Amino acid sequence: MSTWLEGKPLAERMKAEVAEKVSYYKDKTGRVPGLVGILVGENKSSQVYLRSKERASQQVGIAAQILRLPADMEAGALKAKIESLNRDENVDGILVQLPLPGHLDPLDIISVIDPAKDADGIHPVTLGRLLQNQAVLKACTPLGILELLKFHRIPLAGQEAVIIGRSLIVGKPLALMLTNENATVTVCHSKTRDLPAVARRADILVAAMGQTAFVTPDFVKTGAVVVDVGINSVSDSGIVASLFGNDAGRLKDLAEKGYTLVGDVRPDVFSKASAMTPVPGGVGLLTVAALMKNTLQAFIRLKGL
């Protein structure tokens, strides 16, 4: 019997824990954590993501604001803005919503954030501390995945974990975190020879390459745990039918929103896995919950609590 690793119960629990601590510190100090999300330009997905982060902040009592900047903002002006947020006592967490417009180098911009306020956990200092197994703040999506696996009591030590995708915000930091948890970790990518065979070694398979329904049952050892990090918007009804048949929810999505969200894993992998995260409703919810946790951690550190 396969089971779905739903993100919601854990995300709610994580947020409830953050809310409780925020309330405790508010009583004690009169202050609440402050989070600023920077949006440069008007990328539609970015706006959706930022709104969900703003909503979660409101839920837990974090003072969040979205700083909307013009798409043609120059690097120097953007960095000066970030530096002023670094100095602002009311701001404990700063995140730059990616992707940025093409003229801005995301690594260059992110490196300006004070590491103590790196709510997304992707500043070079934060990543280096993660390699050293010393991180206080951690990359949100990998942190969410780790919390989800632990919540569902998936064993990690001594297990073979295979991660497909080597991005700076998911694949590489997750590899470090799983190694720190005593898993035997392999990172795969577009240049990997015989990717399905390598993936089939996994007790825990993580799909994080951002390609719709790329991982088929042929990639999966029977009984493996599958973590689907992809969030791909699909509006082609033929593709949706081929993946989900006549699933009512998906048809409703298409009819009402014009698209449905599909992961990097084909839905028919589910029956071969022992457990699998759904898309939507899996890892994505935990990324936001992890952001809340990081912002609280940053606040506690910065205010010396």
Q: What is the DSSP string of 26-78?
A: HHHHS---EEEEEEES--HHHHHHHHHHHHHHHHHT-EEEEEEE-TT--HHHH
Residue 100 in the binding site for a second copy (CB under 8 A) = no
Selected from 187, 204, 224, 285, the binder of a second copy by CB under 8 A is 187
Residue 160 in the binding site for a second copy (CB under 8 A) = yes
Residue 40 in the binding site for a second copy (CB under 8 A) = no
Selected from 127, 143, 177, 225, the binder of a second copy by CB under 8 A is 127
In angstroms, what is the minimal distance from the CB of 86 to a second copy?
16
Task: Quote the tokens at residue 5.
Answer: 């690793």
In the shown chain, the binding pattern of residues 54 to 93 toward a second copy, with x for contact by CB under 8 A and - for none, equals ----------------------------------------
In the complex with a second copy, the residue whose CB is nearer, 57 or 126, is 126
In angstroms, what is the minimal distance from the CB of 83 to a second copy?
18
Question: For the CA atoms of 159, 164, 165, 171, what is the dihedral angle to 10 degrees?
Answer: -10
Q: What is the DSSP string of 266-291?
A: -GGGTTTSSEE--SSSSHHHHHHHHH
Selected from 64, 175, 208, 296, the binder of a second copy by CB under 8 A is 175
In angstroms, what is the minimal distance from the CB of 128 to a second copy?
3
Residue 129 in the binding site for a second copy (CB under 8 A) = yes
Residue 221 annotated as catalytic: no
Selected from 30, 76, 102, 158, the binder of a second copy by CB under 8 A is 158
Quote the DSSP letter at residue 261. E
Selected from 166, 250, 272, 293, the binder of a second copy by CB under 8 A is 166
Residue 254 in the binding site for a second copy (CB under 8 A) = no
Q: How far apart are CA 252 and CA 259, in angstroms?
A: 9
Query: Cα 131–114–58 angle (5° rounding)?
Result: 100
Phi-psi region of 115 (alpha: psi -120 to 50; beta: other; left: phi over 0): alpha
Helix axes 237-244, 248-257, angle to 10 degrees: 160
Residue 165 in the binding site for a second copy (CB under 8 A) = no
In the complex with a second copy, the residue whose CB is nearer, 48 or 131, is 131
Report the DSSP pairing between strands 63-69 and 34-40.
parallel
Residue 47 annotated as catalytic: no
Residue 15 annotated as catalytic: no
Cα 118 off chain centre by: 14
Give the residues lining the site for a second copy (CB under 8 A). 107, 123-129, 131-132, 134, 157-160, 166, 168, 172-173, 175-176, 179, 182, 184-189, 191-193, 198
